[in-house]
Amino acid sequence: MDERWRRTFRAWARQGSYRSLLASTLGQVRRDLESCRQPLVAFSGGKDSTVLAHVVLRVDPSVLVLHWDYGPYFVPRAIEREILRNARRLGARNVRVETSPAYRRLGRQARNVLGRHMIAGLLPRMAEEGYDLVFVGLREEEAVRRRHRIRAGRSLSVIPESWPLARWRWIDVWAYIVEHDLPYLEGIYDPAAALVGYDRARWTTLHDPEFGHVAAAMDGVLHWRHRYAGGSTGEPPRGLG
């Protein structure tokens, strides 16, 4: 991120509206933690979950950080390692990484693995383990569907969800990252922001048909090597397994 953008985000972090939003968010997190017995925070490594994890861990560093690994066909292993390093740098003491063998078995033909193996499989098991609240970094600004889900209070699994960043805008997220000098996926976000701006730069997975509506065109420009490194079947992409 260049200094011009850093100055912009630092200036925003001094605004009264941002300070009020942050105070309100910290208050919500504290209340949520007091109301549950065994919480966790979902961490994808993206900007929103980075901010959320840091906010939650500021209040209680012992909260479990749960990360779902989409496998080498959709997430280069160098990026996956960076995500886990960043979790530790955010202050996570307890990190749990889960995945599904279907990602390696099916390669880029994998479909709805997240729904079947994580939402319908892993999370119910974690509820049986005693987890009773999951912090999720959803923001209403991102999509109409997310706004409707938040306002309806609809959780995706049997574990109730909390969305402390629901009212945050993209500039609030980046202001927090810069203000606290948080680690983020610079190799993903900064090149994307140079093309479309930090307001539209996102991280999900790479060359994943299920998330093609989010960043397919950008993946083809910025991450084409990963697409053709291993093909859609067979061995994981060379150097990424």
Q: What is the pLDDT of residues 147-183, one digit of tens each?
A: 999 999 999 999 999 999 999 999 999 999 999 999 9
pLDDT tier for residue 111 given thresholds of 50, 70 and 90? confident
Q: What is the identity of the amino acid at 171?
A: I
What the chain holds in terms of domains, given with CATH numbers, is 3-185 (3.40.50.620)
For the chain, report the end-to-end CA distance as a whole number of angstroms.
29
pTM of the model: 0.86
Q: Where are the alpha helices (DSSP H) in 14-156?
A: 16-35, 47-59, 77-89, 102-106, 113, 123-129, 144-152
Q: What is the pLDDT of residues 21-59, one digit of tens each?
A: 999 999 999 999 999 999 999 999 999 999 999 999 999
Find tokens 């500021």 and name the residue. 58
